[in-house]
């Protein structure tokens, strides 16, 4: 900062210049004047100036570096390489080719490390990538860079690299993996980048990410009739790609399967997904789905599953989870409309979680009772009302056991 101006005066000047808002900073001459007035350049590292895309400040920093004596720390080769790499990465993240050119012209003796090129491909900075390759020495290309370009969904850069990389060094598995990336992004051109591949990985990724258009293009090229070919719908259901799920069930029902999709949907209240899977009897649909719905209080799903004609839902301890989470309406409905039975876990869980009304209802209408854990855990959590309700009943229960000589060792 100018030695003749104190901090308050300097800030007042900046305030006056910027009183009309950030629009003033769009004028390069205003920014340049402010920098020269405040002399911020000495307080900010070069890589930080690149990170905030402050081109004028980068110019100032590089000009200062050029005037330093040769025994200065900034001329240490390791420090120069570190500063060049870090600044280059930050400039690339901003997508500023001009900054990259400025840095390249200043750090002539430094290398463009492989990580920088990978990052450029990841970010889809094809213009910067190509400029570095064409204008910096010792920059070599390999198939890993192509992999990064595809993962960055930059098909144009991937094609450019394909023309310059030795294709025969790329394994079939690697090519299949790249095609699956195209399926994930819904990019048919990327899927078509290579020929004569096993496309099962790509099919799985298209299903997982809901890319129906890509899937419809891929399936005629796969042997969908083979015994080991199936469509795992778990992730598609979880990610709410219902149009794709419905299409697959309609056209390939016997090849569709799930592991936990119906249980996940039941837990999260998605009756539409539960109905879709169970109505079509998709392989993997489980009777246990009703337990997940009951535990989370989704009575509509509980009712629908119980009425589902293609499989019987009974004796699944659905009441246990519903009671533990205080869903008394579900507990009552299951009690009145099903043959489901529960264990002592129902009242134990309700007591543990502070659901007094549920505890009272279970005591009044169910014969299973509870264990000493109910009162212990209610007490440990400060649920005094539940302790007061349970204490006389637990004492009577213990007396009854002692009176009748019941063997509790196997409980």
Length, in residues, of the chain = 411
Q: What is the pLDDT of residues 359-406, one digit of tens each?
A: 999 999 988 888 888 888 888 888 888 888 887 655 544 444 454 454
**Better-scored residue on pLDDT, 411 or 306:** 306
Q: What is the pLDDT of residue 70?
A: 60
- What is d(CA 226, CA 73) in angstroms, rounded to the nearest whole number? 67
Query: Residue ranges per domain, the chain?
Result: 343-411
- What is d(CA 378, CA 411) in angstroms, rounded to the nearest whole number? 21
Please write down the HEC assignment for all residues of 116-139: HHHHHHHCCCHHHHHHHHHHCCCC
Cα 324 to Cα 49, 263, 319, 327, 368: the distances in Å are 57, 18, 8, 8, 14
Q: What is the CATH number of domain 343-411?
A: 1.25.40
Please state which of the ranges 31-40, 89-98, 170-179, 399-408 shows the lowest mean pLDDT. 399-408
CB 95 within 8 A of CB 131: no
Give the three-class secondary structure for 321: helix
> Over 90: is that where the pLDDT of 355 sits?
yes
The candidate with the shortest Cα–Cα distance to 353, out of 319, 332, 392, 327, is 327
Q: What is the pLDDT of residue 407?
A: 52
Q: What is the pLDDT of residues 195-244, one digit of tens each?
A: 767 778 888 899 999 999 999 988 887 666 666 778 999 999 999 999 99
Q: What is the pLDDT of residue 89?
A: 94
- Mean pLDDT for the stretch of residues 261-276: 96
The candidate with the shortest Cα–Cα distance to 189, out of 225, 156, 221, is 156
Phi, psi of 280 (to 5 degrees): -95, 5
> Over 90: is that where the pLDDT of 132 sits?
yes
**What percent of the chain is predicted at pLDDT more than 70?**
80
DSSP per-residue letters across 332-354 = HHHHHH------THHHHHHHHTT
Q: What is the pLDDT of residues 280-329, one digit of tens each?
A: 999 999 888 999 999 999 999 999 998 887 666 555 689 999 999 999 99
**Better-scored residue on pLDDT, 49 or 267:** 267
Across the strands, what pairs with 231?
256
- What is d(CA 129, CA 124) in angstroms, rounded to the nearest whole number? 9
pLDDT band at 410 (very low <50, low <70, confident <90, very high): very low
- Mean pLDDT for the stretch of residues 157-176: 78
């Amino acid at each position: 900062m100018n030695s003749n101006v104190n901090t308050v005066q300097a800030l007042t000047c900046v305030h006056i210049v910027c009183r009309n808002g950030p629009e003033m900073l769009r004028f390069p001459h205003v920014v340049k004047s402010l920098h020269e007035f405040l002399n911020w350049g000495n307080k900010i590292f070069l890589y930080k100036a690149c990170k905030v895309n402050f081109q004028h400040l980068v110019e100032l920093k590089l000009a200062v570096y050029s005037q330093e004596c040769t025994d200065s720390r900034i001329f240490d080769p390791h420090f120069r390489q570190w500063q060049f790499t870090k600044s280059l990465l930050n400039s690339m993240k901003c997508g500023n080719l001009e900054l990259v050119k400025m840095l390249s012209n200043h750090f002539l003796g430094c290398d463009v490390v492989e990580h920088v090129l990978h990052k450029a491909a990841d970010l889809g900075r094809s213009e910067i990538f190509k400029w570095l390759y064409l204008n910096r020495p010792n920059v070599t290309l390999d198939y890993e860079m192509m992999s990064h370009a595809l993962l960055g969904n930059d098909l144009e850069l991937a094609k450019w690299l394909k023309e310059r990389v030795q294709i025969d060094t790329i394994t079939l598995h690697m090519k299949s993996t790249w095609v699956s990336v195209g399926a994930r992004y819904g990019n048919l051109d990327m899927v078509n980048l290579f020929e004569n591949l096993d496309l099962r990985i790509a099919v799985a990724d298209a299903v997982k990410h809901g890319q129906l258009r890509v899937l419809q293009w891929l399936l005629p090229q796969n042997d969908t009739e083979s015994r080991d070919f199936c469509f795992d719908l778990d992730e598609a259901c979880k990610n709410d790609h219902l149009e794709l799920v419905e299409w697959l069930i309609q056209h390939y029902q016997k090849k569709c399967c799930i592991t936990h999709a119906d249980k996940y949907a039941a837990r999260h209240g998605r009756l539409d997904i539960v109905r879709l899977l169970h109505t079509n009897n998709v392989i993997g649909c489980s009777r246990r789905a009703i337990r997940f719905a009951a535990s989370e209080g989704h009575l509509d799903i509980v009712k629908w599953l119980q009425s589902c004609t293609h499989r019987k839902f009974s004796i699944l301890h659905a009441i246990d989870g519903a009671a533990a989470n205080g869903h008394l309406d579900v507990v009552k409905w299951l009690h009145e409309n099903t043959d489901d039975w529960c264990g002592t876990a129902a009242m134990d869980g309700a007591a543990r979680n502070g659901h007094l009304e549920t505890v009272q209802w279970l005591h009044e209408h169910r014969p299973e009772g509870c264990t000493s854990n109910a009162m212990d855990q209610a007490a440990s959590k400060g649920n005094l009302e539940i302790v007061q309700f349970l204490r006389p009943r637990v004492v009577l229960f213990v007396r009854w056991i002692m009176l009748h000589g019941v063997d509790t060792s196997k409980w």
